[in-house]
Amino acid sequence: MIADFTYQTPTKLIFGKGVIEDLPEVMASFGKTILMTYGGGSIKKIGLYDKVKTLLKDFTIVELADIEPNPKYDPSVITGAKLCKEKGVDVILAVGGGSVLDCSKAISVCAKYDGEGWDLISGKVQAKDALPIVDILTLAATGSEFDSGCVISYTAISDKRAYGDPLLYPAVSFLDPTYTFSVSPWQTACGTADAINHVLEQFFSSPTSLFNDGIMISALRSLMTNVKIALKDPKDYAARSELMYVCSWGCNGILANGAGYSGWPMHSIEHALSAYFDITHGAGLAIITPRWMREILSEKTVERFVTLGTSLFGFPKDLPAFDMAQKVIDAFYSFFEETGIPMHLAAVGVKAEKIGEMADHILACDDTSASWVYVPLDKAALVRILEASM
């Protein structure tokens, strides 16, 4: 069935080879002074930095570089907001992956707020205004280019928060798959694992519908097929373009319209892992996924696994439901491993002695034990998942 919903996405997507030629016209509609944000230098290596500077030669450009993966409130968001205020910035141009986009989203609201920006990000204060954001995406993964969320880390207090507000939708996102040709095998695998997890977070909910299931199974099939092609041939345009488009659907609600809310528990767990150990988001998710699946497998959830087993993996329909579920979990584990992700948290730097503290942190940030979560997870369940993932 389709449950009631309200839906609006204001972001304009401009997709295809060479689309950034339209950049000057798009930027001119927002003003003259631009804060251009980017990461540690990948956009310079692929020639995108020079291309943007040439296209925008008639604008005033203020730059914020060195935005790190798992973008930091201090210094990046604080510095960016200060620059916007001091230089009278009209619009932010984010050029990079999800971290650059997320950092820019946080800057966009902090630039219009006179108090402590973390109060907005941590949900203590509601933002009233934001600078517009345009982005040029260079990594297919988060879906930040098409959603109203950002995820920001505050290292001093070991916190990483998912922050959502309709003010954070980018106004325009330029998606040229050729800019993802240079993404490393590791980031390609982790970005795809992130997008796969976004689908799974929404697939495991109730109620659901044939229509939603169909879209989500197609998304999973496309991601799982095309990542293998992109890992073999990083410049395969067909594969990179499908990855880019499908990833964009991850977090903007389309997949969940008319379905129950799942609570996104794997993201709650992963955000604690990267808050404590600064690990790559998609790797953490890939490692948690099969362990979370085993934890939630029950009479209530088993039909969801059966649908994945028959429709995605093509397992025989006459397999007993719980056997099918175990095969589905094993299939996801093997798939992630084949893409090069080590399937143990210890291998990405997580220390077991922090498990109890992280479980408390998860419950304090996002109440995964709440009754509205598809399968509520209390502290004991969180600890079991984390221990099994080590």
Contact flag: residue 307 with ligand NZQ (CB under 6 A): no
Q: Which residue is listed with tokens 């930027």?
A: 27
Q: How far is the CB of 263 from ligand NZQ (least distance, A)?
A: 14
What are residue 59's phi and psi, to 5 degrees? -105, 160
Contact flag: residue 149 with ligand NZQ (CB under 6 A): yes
275 with 303: CB under 8 angstroms?
Answer: no
Contact flag: residue 180 with ligand NZQ (CB under 6 A): yes
Applying CB under 6 A, the span of 24-32, 37-45, 74-82, 289-297 interacting with ligand NZQ comes to: 37-45
Give how far the C-alpha of residue 329 lies from the chain's centroid of Cα atoms, to the nearest Å.
Answer: 22
Alpha-helical regions (H) of the chain: 23-28, 42-45, 48-55, 78-87, 98-110, 117-121, 185-203, 210-232, 237-248, 265-277, 281-296, 302-307, 321-338, 355-365, 379-389
Helix (H, G, I), strand (E, B) or coil at 298: coil
Nearer to ligand NZQ, 39 or 309 (CB): 39
Using alpha carbons, list the distances in angstroms from residue 75 to 68, 107, 119, 132, 153: 10, 11, 16, 21, 10
Q: How far is the CB of 255 from ligand NZQ (least distance, A)?
A: 13
Binding mask 182-221 for Zn ion (x = CB under 5 A): ------------x---------------------------
Q: Which residue is listed with tokens 């379905």?
A: 259
Nearer to ligand NZQ, 48 or 296 (CB): 48
Contact flag: residue 281 with ligand NZQ (CB under 6 A): yes
Applying CB under 6 A, the span of 122-130, 175-183, 238-246, 288-296 interacting with ligand NZQ comes to: 175-183
Nearer to Zn ion, 143 or 309 (CB): 143
20 with 51: CB under 8 angstroms?
Answer: yes
Applying CB under 6 A, the span of 25-33, 49-57, 95-103, 371-379 interacting with ligand NZQ comes to: 95-103
Residue (of 338, 340, 356, 359) closest to 348 by Cα position: 340
Nearer to Zn ion, 131 or 251 (CB): 251
Helix, strand, coil percentages, rounded to 5, for the chain: 55, 10, 35
Helix (H, G, I), strand (E, B) or coil at 87: helix
137 with 93: CB under 8 angstroms?
Answer: no
Candidates 132, 143, 177, 290; binder of ligand NZQ (CB under 6 A) is 143
Total residues at interface with Zn ion (CB under 5 A): 1
Candidates 23, 36, 73, 96; binder of ligand NZQ (CB under 6 A) is 96
Residues that bind Zn ion (CB under 5 A): 194
Residues that bind ligand NZQ (CB under 6 A): 39-43, 46, 69-70, 96-100, 102, 138-139, 141-144, 147, 149-151, 179-180, 182-183, 187, 191, 194, 251, 267, 281-282
